[in-house]
Amino acid sequence: MTTVLDLVGAELDAPVPPAATAFAHVLTQRFEAPAAVLFYGSILRTGDLDGVLDFYVLTHKPPRGARGVASRLLWPDVGYYEIEHEGRTLRAKVAAMTLAQFSRAVTGAGADTTIWTRFVQPSALLWSDSPATTQTVRQAIATASVTAARFAAALGPAQGASADYWTALFRQTYAAEFRVEKGGREQSILAVDPARWDALLATAWREAGLGDVSANGTAAPALDAREQRRVNAAWTRRRRLGKPLNIARLLKATFTFEGAARYGAWKIERHTGVAVPLTPWRERHPILAAPGVLWRLRKARRQS
């Protein structure tokens, strides 16, 4: 019988654009004690390398010094990186946390919802430092899927199609995470491979003891009243803490986001056509440089 570990394992091993693999190997040289590199997001689905690739770098230990202290309290660290590959510039947004933090986060035991919500979606394991690490990452991704499916059962309808449960889950987590998402964002995620989401819900519910999805695709989780109240209470706590937690992460990122100036300059040019020259001072002090950059952008728009 197929397990969640079987389903996510096949996805983690699926082929990806060679450029993404090349980027992953570069990232292993940029982080101390790397354990694994995961690739996820829209480019995993589309293969369009003109956008920003999304990676998670898992490490065996946090960074040294003050940054490490912040990383222990408010993970992940986030940065922007560029490399040259076969004559083109590749860009990536990279999140980093320890493998131990990742393994705890996917269980859903804490207030965070971002990790298990993100990794119930497809991802690829591009690099790991050992077979043991590979197995740990695989199990963590499988756990994230079961955690997400369990919350979907409580947040969704008493009975419905599997898509109804995933839709309810994503809408609720987007609201809890203080994320600005276009309406219908969850539908674009589910529409890529509906059969994948059907199979994942059925398999995860079976492993979690939540019952089976019927042959015609109708789902009705076996949640008794006590368990429903327990999960609802757990979700209420996450909803209350989600926004403050993510605001704290944003505040941390204003001081620790590596490559912030370069990322901002690229975004401005991409969306407005206005080039922002990067000086050493702007790279070192992106927050202080922001008013000057905004003035330059405003001036350029007036002239055009």
pLDDT above 90: residue 259: no
Same domain, 237 and 266: no
Q: Is 262 a residue whose pLDDT tops 80?
A: no
The predicted pLDDT at position 64 comes to 79
Shared domain for 127 and 230, answered yes or no, is yes
Q: Are 242 and 281 found together in one domain?
A: no
263 and 248 housed in the same domain:
no
Task: Tell me the CATH number at 224.
Answer: 3.30.460.10
What is the extent of the structural domain holding 243? 4-256
289 confidence band (pLDDT: 50, 70, 90)? very low
Based on the fold, state whether residues 159 and 286 are members of the same structural domain: no
Indicate whether 149 and 295 sit together in one domain. Answer: no
What pLDDT, in 10s, does the model give residues 172-224? 888 776 555 555 678 888 998 999 999 999 999 999 998 887 766 688 888 77
The verdict on 235 and 265 lying in the same domain is no
This prediction's pTM:
0.82
**Residue 260 pLDDT exceeds 60:** no
Domains identified in the chain, total number = 2
Q: What is the pLDDT of residues 6-31, one digit of tens each?
A: 999 999 999 999 999 999 999 999 99
Q: List, as one string, the DSSP characters of 50-101.
A: TSEEEEEEEESSPPSHHHHHHHHHSPPEEEEEEEEETTEEEEEEEEEEEHHH
Let me know whether 292 and 169 are in one domain: no
**Could you tell me the two tokens for 48?**
């369009």
Residues 211 and 223 in one domain: yes
CB crowding 184-203: b at 16 or more within 10 Å, else e = eebeebbeeeeeebbbbbbb
